[in-house]
């Protein structure tokens, strides 16, 4: 069974690059442009991992993470922040809220794929 990944970001170029890389590694890929859409998809698909931006319209990544963690059906879902917010306080807040990993933009696609594969 393919691993499922939900990519949540409002930047089309980032989404396309990540989608291509993870499909190439045989992941089933789902895409959301904001936190509200991400929750709708996650509650139907139950992804193994969510790559989550922080600064997005409608619902930011912090609020999205909290909603995912509140859902008992997604307790095993890994959440990785992928954000331009790179101050130590931002990273710590993400980890304190329950993120499994925090990676900053700009990033290496190869490194992200490797890190996610290791996390799984």
CATH of residue 70's domain is 3.40.50.2300
Overall number of domains in the chain:
1
In a domain, 119, yes or no: no
Q: What confidence tens digit (pLDDT) does each residue in 13-62 have?
A: 999 999 999 999 999 999 999 999 999 999 999 999 999 999 988 899 99
In a domain, 120, yes or no: no
Q: Which contacts of 18-23 are long-range, i.e. CB under 8 A and separated by 24 or more positions? A: 18/51, 18/109, 18/112, 21/109, 21/110, 21/112, 21/113, 22/113, 22/116
Give CA 101 to chain center in angstroms: 10
Residue 9 belongs to what domain range? 4-112
What predicted TM-score, i.e. pTM, was given to this entire model?
0.94
pLDDT band for position 92 (50/70/90)? very high
């Amino acid at each position: 069974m393919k691993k499922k990944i939900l990519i949540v970001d409002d930047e089309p170029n980032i989404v396309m690059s990540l989608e291509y890389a993870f499909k190439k590694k045989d992941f089933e890929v789902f895409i959301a442009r904001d936190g509200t859409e991400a929750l709708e998809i996650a509650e139907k698909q139950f992804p193994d991992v969510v790559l989550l931006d922080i600064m997005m319209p409608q619902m930011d990544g912090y609020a999205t993470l909290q909603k995912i963690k509140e859902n008992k059906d997604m307790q095993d879902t890994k959440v990785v922040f992928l954000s331009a917010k790179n101050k130590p306080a931002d990273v710590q807040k993400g980890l304190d809220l329950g993120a499994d990993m925090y990676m900053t933009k700009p990033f290496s696609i190869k490194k992200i794929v490797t890190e996610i594969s290791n996390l799984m």
